[in-house]
Amino acid sequence: MTSSGRNPEKKRAIYGVVGFPVKHSLSPGMHNAAFKSLGIKATYLAFEVKPEDLPEFLKYVNSSGIAGLNLTVPHKEIAYKCLRNFSSEAKSTGTVNTITNRGGKLHGDSTDAHGLLASLKEEFNIRTFKNKTILLLGAGGAAFAVAEKLALSGIKTLYVANRTLEKADKLTQKTERATGVKCVALPLDAKAVSAIIADVDILINATSAGLKRGVKSPIPAASLRKGLFVYDMIYNPPLTALLKEAKKAGAKTSNGLGMLLHQGAKSFSIWTGKKAPLNVMRNALKKATHHPCK
> Which parts of this chain interact with ligand ATR (CB under 6 A)?
73, 138-142, 162-164, 167, 188, 207-209, 215, 218
CB 168, min distance to ligand ATR, A? 8
Q: Which residue number, 42 or 233, has a Cβ lying nearer to ligand ATR?
A: 233
Q: Which residue number, 167 or 247, has a Cβ lying nearer to ligand ATR?
A: 167
CB 138, min distance to ligand ATR, A? 4
Alpha-carbon gap, residue 252 to 26, rounded angstroms: 25
Q: Which residue number, 212 or 291, has a Cβ lying nearer to ligand ATR?
A: 212
Is 191 among the catalytic positions?
no
Q: Out of 23, 50, 76, 121, which one is annotated catalytic?
A: 76
H-assigned helices in the chain: 27-37, 54-64, 76-82, 88-93, 112-124, 141-151, 165-179, 190-196, 241-248, 257-272, 278-289
Q: What are phi and psi of 185, to 5 degrees?
A: -95, 145
CB 232, min distance to ligand ATR, A? 12
DSSP class of residue 211 equals: S
CB 181, min distance to ligand ATR, A? 20
**DSSP states of 77-121 as a string?**
HHHHHH-SEE-HHHHHHT--SEEEEETTEEEEE--HHHHHHHHHH
Q: Which residue number, 205 or 253, has a Cβ lying nearer to ligand ATR?
A: 205
Contacts with 219 (C-beta within 8 Å, 6 or more apart), sequence order: 137, 193, 203, 242, 245
Q: Which residue number, 100 or 207, has a Cβ lying nearer to ligand ATR?
A: 207
CB 209, min distance to ligand ATR, A? 3
Active site residues: 76
